[in-house]
Structure 1
Amino acid sequence: MPRRARHYIADQPYHIVQRGNNRAACFMEPENYQCYLNLWRELADRYGVKVHAFCLMTNHIHFLATPTEATSLSNTLKVVGSRYAQYINVKYKRTGTLWEGRHRASLIQSERYLLICYRYIELNAVRAGMVKRPEAYAWSSYMANAWEEKSWLVPHQEYLRLGEDRSGRAYAYRELFRSALVEDDLHLLRKATHYNYPVGDDGFCQAIEEKYGITLGNVSRGRPRKKMYDK
């Protein structure tokens, strides 16, 4: 089956997922996580990607980011992935592929799903049973978004609408985490990233297709009959 064509639209947010080859670990010790984030910080700035949220799990990564140009995300992920794989291979005297093929990407409808996607990403370690609360996990953006920790992240406009100042926005953001994500939203985000489909209502998808002359595809809503997708 031919690969599904990628269409990255400048100034639109995307949920990015990339996994280790054969689900093997990509991060073995704290130094690895920090190296990977340092690469993202450097290369996102170089290629024009605004990173809003992230979570680094043992064998995969999640990012919520907006490209400023159509090639920004592809270039950033390509170079970050390559340079990080070289670092791991040298450090641990290994060879072979580190990442599982191509990354996955879902266009996110800002006003409806963006803050849901923030929460989905930063609650990964909680859903995996690694920690009980998101602030206990060191390798996500939660502390920057919820507790004003100094960061290189660029807040999305939907995040900025949460309050009039930084403290107000952080407080409102923490309040969002008082309630669990709806199961239908979890299913939607998981399935969308699995198939590289957009996360948005029909009107949003139609408007994007008409404006840019592309076919996005769509993902069904509602609860899955069985668990097919990852956290």
Structure 2
Amino acid sequence: MARHARKKSSTQTYHVVIKGADRQLLFEESKDYIKYLDILEFYKDQLKFEIYAYCLMSNHVHLLLRHPNTVSLESIFRHINTTYACWFNAKYDRTGFVQDGRYYSEPVESDNALLTIVRYIHYNPSKAGLENFPGSGYQWSSFNDYTRKTAGLTDTALVLRLLDTPEQFLAMHRIAPSDDCLDIHKFRKRIPDDVAKDIIQQICSCDSATDFQKLSTLERNKILFYYTKEASRFGR
């Protein structure tokens, strides 16, 4: 089946979602998150794109960015995805795809849409049960770049200018966004990733998703049977 052409943004601004291949983890430990941010920072400097918001979740990444006329969105993510996949595969002694083959991109055409997506991205950890509300503990998002004096990886000036004051930024995040506020691929409800990882470690000797993938099909099926029984307790 032929792929549909990506919708182009007149503002060159996009909300991008990158998922792990076959719903696998993109990040196994803190060093993986750090490496991904280092890669983002490197190519942000090299290719001159701006990042208005980001959130790294265990099996997917959200980015809100604007690219210049000199480089395409496709080129940016070809560099980022290839560099991280090569590093990840070498670290975990694995082969094959790390990211899902085709990332999702949504054009952002207005200031209101941009602010809506900023809030949506920052609420991802809260919706996954990883923190109570944005800024209350999750470290792999751009939220804290907006609330401290040094912006870090995030280009905060545009959003703060649209909101007039930092207080308005905090007020914007006091109301959780609707799940239907964006036309975006929905992820199936499931138990939190950290809980899933604990369950797998309890019923087998695997320390990571990569170790689990190396098991035989029979061993994996046995583990998944017990995992499904445990996961049912969460009502997901």
TM bracket, shorter-chain basis: 0.7 to 0.9
Alpha-carbon deviation of 1:145?
Answer: 1.6
Cα distance in 2, alignment partners of residues 15 and 116 from structure 1: 11
Question: Any idea what SS the aligned residue of 2:180 has?
Answer: helix
- Preserved contact between residue 55 and residue 141 of structure 1 (Cα < 8 Å): yes
CA-to-aligned-CA distance 1:143-170 (integer Å, 9 cap, x gap): 012344431321363431222xxxx3x2
Question: Any idea what SS the aligned residue of 1:51 has?
Answer: strand
Q: Which residue of 2 aligns with 1:187?
A: 180
Question: Any idea what SS the aligned residue of 2:126 has?
Answer: helix
TM-score of the pair, normalised by structure 1: 0.75
RMSD: 1.9
TM-score of the pair, normalised by structure 2: 0.73
Q: Which residue of 1 aligns with 2:139?
A: 138
Cα distance in 1, alignment partners of residues 72 and 161 from structure 2: 23
Q: Which residue of 1 aligns with 2:221?
A: none
Cα distance in 2, alignment partners of residues 143 and 38 from structure 1: 17
Alpha-carbon deviation of 1:7?
Answer: 4.4
The alignment-based identity, stated in percent, is 29
Q: Which residue of 2 aligns with 1:204?
A: none
- Preserved contact between residue 13 and residue 110 of structure 1 (Cα < 8 Å): no
Question: Any idea what SS the aligned residue of 1:35 has?
Answer: helix
Alpha-carbon deviation of 1:69?
Answer: 2.0
| Consecutive aligned runs of 4 or more in structure 1 exceeding 6 Å deviation | none
What are the residue-to-residue correspondences of 1:216-231 with 2, within 5 Å? 229-230=186-187
Question: Any idea what SS the aligned residue of 1:193 has?
Answer: coil
Q: Which residue of 1 aligns with 2:219?
A: none
Q: Which has the larger radius of gyration?
A: 2
Q: Which residue of 2 aligns with 1:172?
A: 168
5+ residue gaps, structure 2, are 189-236
Alpha-carbon deviation of 1:15?
Answer: 0.4
- Preserved contact between residue 17 and residue 105 of structure 1 (Cα < 8 Å): yes
Alpha-carbon deviation of 1:45?
Answer: 2.2
Alpha-carbon deviation of 1:112?
Answer: 2.2
Using a 3 Å threshold, how does the CA distance of structure 1 residues 5 and 49 change in structure 2: closer, same or farther? same
Question: Any idea what SS the aligned residue of 1:58 has?
Answer: coil
Q: Which residue of 1 aligns with 2:119?
A: 119
- Preserved contact between residue 18 and residue 99 of structure 1 (Cα < 8 Å): yes
What are the residue-to-residue correspondences of 1:1-231 with 2, within 5 Å? 1-9=1-9, 11-69=11-69, 71-135=71-135, 136-155=137-156, 157-163=158-164, 168=165, 170-181=166-177, 183=178, 186-189=179-182, 192-194=183-185, 229-230=186-187
- Preserved contact between residue 57 and residue 125 of structure 1 (Cα < 8 Å): yes
Question: Any idea what SS the aligned residue of 2:58 has?
Answer: coil
